[in-house]
Amino acid sequence: MSEIPRLSGPFRVGDRVQLTGPKGRLSTITLREGGELHTHHGVLRHEALVGQPDGSVVVNSSGHEYLALRPLLRDFVMSMPRGAAIVYPKDAAQILSQADIFPGAVVVEAGVGSGALSLWLLRAIGATGRLVSFERREEFADVAKANVETYVGESPATWEVVVGDLVEALPEAVAPASVDRVVLDMLAPWECIDVVADALTPGGVVLCYVATATQLSRVAEFIRATGLFTEPDANETMVRGWHVEGLAVRPDHRMIAHTGFLLTARRLAPGAVAPEQKRRASKSSYGDEDVELWTPGAVGDRQITDKNLRKRVREAQKAADGVRQAGQDAAESNP
Ligand SMILES: C[S@@+](CC[C@H](N)C(=O)[O-])C[C@H]1O[C@@H](n2cnc3c(N)ncnc32)[C@H](O)[C@@H]1O
């Protein structure tokens, strides 16, 4: 990613600054020559910030204090304008790791939506990588381009946005077997798997981010049926915040419980057939072995021996006899 925006060092004109003012109110400004932030608490002159270290506290015309910090990427994506729903930072972090996005990688992304994931991908591929982002709705592509330019300060040289459906546009935009990683965040990723298989280099990773279990199942089965990928891996990430203050150390009462599922698979080399994996037959055609998998022994319950069972019967009957005898004794002593 280019030098702009400056991500550290003293504040300079052109930097974005997140201010926490009276009563914790947040506002984000871009520092300008002669710029001022007017609120009903008074006026904060931008020049009070220029030259100050990140994390400074400055005072406005009425003596109110403002904490000034450069927004982190996660702050920026959560507050930027959205055309489509964004990938949340917790999932973006997992996408970077599970799709193994590396500096210098050639990455394809679709759809670009609001550009949130594009920003994380651009950061991870660095100055020598290439990101090609596809979006079939031009207005969404415009939102994404504007968001990325706002954050980066310019349109990154490493980024190309193609307006069009991935299925038609991908084969025209990239050479076969030339892409290291593909990230799909869209409603019907299975429609794109064939073109993705052609574009991916052997060993390359496809990652699908989907919101529902039905999408997850459909894309997993589609990928399996091609025979061109390794067995898909799927997971989801839940992040629970904690309140940590004095003796009040506990999980937050609220959390974002569901965003989406991640599924990854790797492209096999041309002509390669993955070694047969021992798998259960699908549930629509299960056999005796599948039923056996659910026997008490298989799921961890110890099977009781006949001898032990007879012992348990004797114990139970003895207890019942005792109760019966106690009842008779009571009846006899209180006729
Ligand atoms: C949920 S949004 C993506 C959000 C984006 N990842 C972000 O973090 O801001 C899904 C986008 O995929 C686009 N889309 C769906 N199918 C597509 C396809 N086949 N080709 C290109 N774009 C597609 C939609 O128009 C929509 O903008």
Domains of the chain: 16-71 (3.10.330.20), 76-283 (3.40.50.150)
- Tell me which of 73, 86, 112 to substitute to probe ligand 1's pocket, judged by most ligand atoms within 8 Å of the beta carbon: 112
pLDDT at 3: 44
| pLDDT per position as a tens digit, 73-95 | 999 999 999 989 999 999 999 99
Query: What is the Å distance from ligand 1's center to 270 Cα?
Result: 29
- Tell me which of 185, 194, 206, 259 to substitute to probe ligand 1's pocket, judged by most ligand atoms within 8 Å of the beta carbon: 185
pTM of the model: 0.82
Three-state SS string over 174-212 comes to: CCCCCEEEEEEECCCHHHHHHHHHHHEEEEEEEEEEECC
User: Coil, strand, or helix at residue 228?
Assistant: coil
| pLDDT per position as a tens digit, 266-319 | 999 999 999 886 665 555 554 556 555 555 455 454 555 777 666 666 666 656
Query: What is the Å distance from ligand 1's center to 181 Cα?
Result: 17
pLDDT at 6: 80
Query: What is the Å distance from ligand 1's center to 70 Cα?
Result: 29
Query: Which residue's C-alpha comes closest to atom 14 of ligand 1?
Result: 111
Segments of the chain with pLDDT less than 70: 1-5, 277-304, 308-327, 329-331, 333-335
Residues 274 and 39: their CA atoms lie apart, in Å, by: 64
Residues 331 and 335: their CA atoms lie apart, in Å, by: 6
Query: What is the Å distance from ligand 1's center to 144 Cα?
Result: 11
